[in-house]
Amino acid sequence: MADSNVQSEWSDRDVADAVRANALWYHTIELRPGIVTSGWFDLRPIVGSLPWPDVRGKRCLDIGTYDGFLAFELERRGAAEVVATDVGSHEDWDFPPAIRAGGVDLLRQIAGEKGRGFEVAARALGSSVRKQQINVYDLSPSTLGTFDVVVCGSLLLHLRDPFRALEAIRSVCAGEFMSCEQIDVSLTAFHRRAPVTNIGRIGQVQWHVPNLAGHRAEIRAAGFGIERAIRPYSIPFGPAHPKVEASARTRLLSRLVTRGWGVPHSALLARPA
């Protein structure tokens, strides 16, 4: 649970200064009344609709935490212990070989120090979440133990081998797994039952983006049984996100599939089968 003594060490002015000093915020997070990070994505409007399990008193893991929004949400919901994992540096991203050097340099330029946002947010919130620098591929009971609840958001599209990652996730999941992943609205609209994926945006470190059926097929193929799923939704763009140029067709499909505009996602709750 959050430690109010840690939180009190930082004044609101200190927090505001630290927020401004962080080069890039991925998540939009309210750290104090009136102090909100200028994130690229804003999960606040949709977080209550996700298929959360009961996390009260449980040991929980957030994979690919970045600024920590989902980890702090687990804590807020009453988890007894929350561990958040992410890669330790920009060099550890799963870049395609053709863009590796340029991608690392670009991230250093626009994002600054990897993990700084999480550090600022955790201190401002007085959070007790424990962060571990570990690649999703390296998760195992011998490295972190097992968890009652595991969550992972918007990560699989950035991985060369999502099935290997899901296998590692399954090895540390002793209870429930909430998976929230980006989906392709066009493929979802026109391929409602067949699992298919789009592999056309590797230059943006998006190895593949599946349709709704594809996300669910990935989870089952990795040895999970799906217990509950919600209809597709969109994560709104945050105030710092670069302007998105999208065709009228794309916007229409997004609204038809997700009833909103933003980054289309699928979310489900599963257990190791």
- What gap in Å lies between CA 260 and CA 227, rounded to an integer? 25
- The mean of the pLDDT values for the chain is 93
- Give every residue of the chain whose pLDDT is below 70, as ranges: 1-8, 200, 202-203
Given this model, what pLDDT does residue 123 score?
A: 96
- Residue 264 corresponds to which tokens in the numbers above? 């289309």
Host domain of residue 208: 4-272
- CATH number of domain containing 203: 3.40.50.150
Overall pTM surpassing 0.75 (yes/no): yes
Q: Which pLDDT belongs to residue 109?
A: 82
pLDDT of residue 96: 80
pLDDT at 250: 93
Give pLDDT, residue 7: 52
Q: Give the pairing type, strands 263-272 and 173-182.
A: antiparallel
pLDDT of residue 126: 96
Distance CA 199, CA 159 (A): 12
pLDDT at 3: 55
Number of domains making up the chain: 1
Of 211, 212, 223, 210, which Cα lies nearest the Cα of 163? 223
Check residue 80 and give its pLDDT: 98
pLDDT at 1: 57
